[in-house]
Chains A and B, each alone.
Chain A
Amino acid sequence: MDAYDEGSSARPVPGAPECAGGLEDGAPRSAETGVVIRSAETGVVIRSGIVGSGPDERDGIPGDGSGAVPARGTGIGALSLRYRIAVLLALAVVASAAGVHLGMVFLHVAPDNTVSKEYGTAIGEWVYPEFEQNWKLFAPNPLQQNIAVQVRADVRTPDGGADTTGWYDLSASDGAAIEGSLLPSHTRQNQLRRAWDFYTATHDAENRPNGLRGALSERYMLRIALLRLETETVPGIGKGVVVERVQLRSRTTNVPPPEWSDEKVSLTPSYRELPWWPVSDGDGPVGTAGKADAE
């Protein structure tokens, strides 16, 4: 390798012949012919490496893509002092940003502690809304109850009569859709379940909302219920039947303890009933709009 490399630093021969044949004897190596290899059998010279362009050679300037590249190099070693200082500054900024970010996220996911209580506002401002996270996956304890959300409705029948439907179990319908599915949909696994969590988190035991989020969660639950009543086969709801108001309730049942456990828990479900909600025009479009479009 060394034998060939020496040529790379030599000045190009002005007007050196380009063809392989011209290199046959003496093989003058100009800057653009990084490596010259001669095949013993054929005498053909194969030139590899970067070939400079003609005009450059004649001017005695090595082609730009030639052996000059390794000399110029990349990375911090190729920079002058001024640029190195700039890089070090950038490094300091980036490293601090990454460090602060990790610190903030750590304090966000860690339990309340001396530091996070002191700087709670700053942590919140950094983390919310885009870096919010919660990794208490099935922790500290997994949920040990099945919470089903059920709905019933006061309806006006096509003949003008009034009727109240029986309780329809929305969660059971989700469960049936999930069963045997390799790819459960978020609409079945998360929508109702998380909407109910949102509702309970934004309401007190007397079902009083805590401001905007509480009000939004009520409307969200109502619209989910209406959509389901529209799109699923619900006894008492059908063509020409108008839903005037709905009521939701949750039915909480403990998961029975494992067979091999001697634990005893009550398997009697407990209920939480929400007040009746009137259905206004603004709540209707959920399913109806979709159907109108389809028709």
Chain B
Amino acid sequence: MIRSDRSLARALARVTDTALGPYQTAVIRIGFAVTWLLFLLREYPHRQDLYGPDGPWSWDMAQQLIAANHAFTALLWFDGRIWFEIGYVLSVVVSALLVLGWRTRTMSVLFMVCVLSLQNRSVFVGDGGDNVIHLMAIYLVFTRCGQVWSLDARRAARSRVTITGPTSPIEPTSTSSPAVPGSPGRREDRAGVVLWWVLALVLAAVTLVGRLDGGVLGGWLTLFWGLLAVHAVWWALGRRAPYGQPRIMLDVIANVVHNAALLVIMAEACLIYATAGWYKIQGTRWQDGTAVYYPLHLDSFSPWPALSDLLSSSGVLVLLVTYGTVLVQVAFPFTLFNRRVKNVLLAVMMTEHAAIAVVLGLPFFSLAMIAADAVFLPTSFLKRLGGWAARARGALLSRVPRRVPGPRRAEEHTPEEAEQSHVGFTA
């Protein structure tokens, strides 16, 4: 009895005192934001065709459908090309900022707004990859996904150094502690305040014009105004009483929400695999071991016909891949109980998605799925990955000064320069 009480207390402390999986949530934040960013850049030439007011799925057609299903899209708030262009460019900027982790929570909200706006605007051009990003963009809002690998984390670390540094004087009212994430630094957070006001004004304008569906619980107005209010309270408490009880309580609740969202994200990934696997088992083609042959011969999914032919030339190989796919997808959720098996399966699935990216011509779907898989990666591996990335960035930055002389010159001398930097000499 006492033991179960203790383990309950420990579990309670675990989900309230910390936002779990800091590296996992950071890697999926970067993963989904990079995927969407690359997608937006790739489709930039086709943006009008896919989401523009005069595209085949025109503005008024989208409006008729949205009036019936009440999906969220800011692109229908106003008509015209300019509003659309602003929205598209803003989506690119917001995605990039979310990758970098600048004002991560705010960017995650704006990221959700942008993703939903574009996808719901033209729901008939999306595929499974869009669907994954759509869901995860919503879930990410509720996570503290900028605890590591973000500009926010760097700023927090710097403000800690400033405060705890041996020579700097501090004002008692604005101290920060490493233990309270998100506490204000020694310096006034001007950018954050400005951002808050800008967004509050935009939201007020949109509310006044009546473009947002209301609804008290579950309504968009409630969500957005609620988020703004919580941010304001969090900020005010951080200034007045950073170690006061209300602020600690908010911090604890933020952890609870984060941990619940992380659980939902993991469960969602499991649902994806479980659904994909269990439905396949019922199909005759997955039973007779030929299923994988068919997508390879659909015109929409065979960018490399010769490669597709090669891969499907052996019946045994197709059978193995067919059965293997089903096996892995069905098994994956259960392997979460065994760390080692889970990691092996994770590697297999990521490899399969990487192959699908090229063979079936589904790069963004695959990238989104790999990002979703990444939530299950072990912390030790993610830290090593972070170390490699930091070293690669360091190496890259150290080369930059050499290339500064001007883009034209650099272009003219690219092969030479590349060789030089490879050898490690400067001319």
Contacts and interface: CB of A to CB of B under 8 A. Distances in A.
Given A98-B260, A189-B361, A79 B248 contact: yes
A78 interface: yes
A179 B308 CA distance: 12
A178 B298 contact: no
B124 A198 contact: yes
B131 A134 contact: yes
Contact of A227 (B56, B163, B256): B56
Interface string B1-43: 0000000000011011110000000000000000000000011
A223 B295 CA distance: 28
A158 B342 CA distance: 67
A184 to B, nearest CB: 5
B313 A212 contact: no
Interface string B302-331: 111100000011110010000000000000
B276 A136 contact: yes
Interface stretch (A239-247, A253-261, A269-277): A253-261
B275 interface: yes
A224 B313 contact: no
Nearest to A86: B249
Interface stretch (B97-105, B263-271, B382-390, B392-400): B263-271
A133 B135 contact: yes
B56 A185 contact: no
A180 B290 CA distance: 25
Nearest to A76: B16
B303 A181 contact: yes
A115 interface: no
A290 interface: yes
A142 B294 contact: yes
B72 A130 contact: yes
Contacts, number: 274
A228 B70 CA distance: 30
Interface string A122-153: 00000011111111111111111010100000
B64 interface: yes
A223 B286 contact: no
Given A56-B172, A138-B291, A144-B285, A133 B131 contact: yes
B170 interface: yes
Nearest to A111: B279
Interface stretch (B175-183, B190-198, B418-426): B175-183
A216 interface: yes
A139 B358 CA distance: 21
Contacts of B252: 74-76, 79, 87
Interface stretch (A7-15, A22-30, A44-52): A44-52
Nearest to A92: B256
B271 A77 contact: no
B127 A189 contact: yes
Interface string B57-73: 11001001100111110
Contacts of B54: 285-286, 289-290
A94 B12 contact: no
A interface bracket (residues with beta carbon within 8 Å of B): 35 or more
B338 interface: no
B134 interface: yes
Contacts of B358: 182
Kindly name the residue among A48, A91, A175, A285 whose own CB sees the greatest number of chain B CB atoms within 10 A.
A91
A180 B304 contact: yes
Nearest to A48: B166
Interface string A83-109: 100110011001101100110011001
B55 interface: yes
B258 to A, nearest CB: 10
B interface bracket (residues with beta carbon within 8 Å of A): 35 or more
A236 interface: no
A50 B163 contact: yes
Contacts of B214: none
B293 interface: yes
Contact of A87 (B120, B249, B291, B294): B249
A183 B42 contact: yes
Interface stretch (B44-52, B83-91, B224-232, B403-411): B44-52
Given A137-B128, A141-B291, A224-B56, A216 B61 contact: yes
B400 to A, nearest CB: 27
A69 interface: yes
Interface string B118-148: 0010001111100100110010000000000
A142 B70 CA distance: 32
A254 B294 CA distance: 10
A220 B56 contact: yes
A94 B16 CA distance: 12
B380 interface: no
Given A109-B275, A258-B312, A289-B54, A131 B299 contact: no
B297 interface: yes
B300 A174 contact: yes
A120 to B, nearest CB: 17
Contacts of B293: 258
A286 B318 CA distance: 43
A53 interface: yes
B279 A79 contact: no
A171 interface: yes
B46 A186 contact: yes
B325 to A, nearest CB: 9
B276 A130 contact: no
Contacts of B271: 105-106, 109, 135
13 contacts: A65-B177, A69-B177, A69-B179, A73-B179, A74-B252, A83-B249, A128-B69, A140-B286, A171-B299, A182-B358, A189-B301, A194-B124, A286-B54
Given A77-B17, A146-B297, 5 more contacts: A64-B175, A65-B175, A75-B252, A129-B120, A142-B285
Interface of B: 12-13, 15-18, 42-43, 46, 48-50, 54-58, 61, 64-65, 68-72, 116, 120, 124-128, 131, 134-135, 138, 163-164, 166-173, 175-177, 179-180, 243, 245-246, 248-249, 251-253, 256-257, 260-261, 263-264, 267-268, 271-272, 275-276, 279-280, 282-286, 290-295, 297-305, 312-315, 318, 358, 361-363
A-B pairs with lowest CB-CB distance, top 6: A140-B283, A75-B17, A64-B172, A65-B175, A135-B275, A260-B315
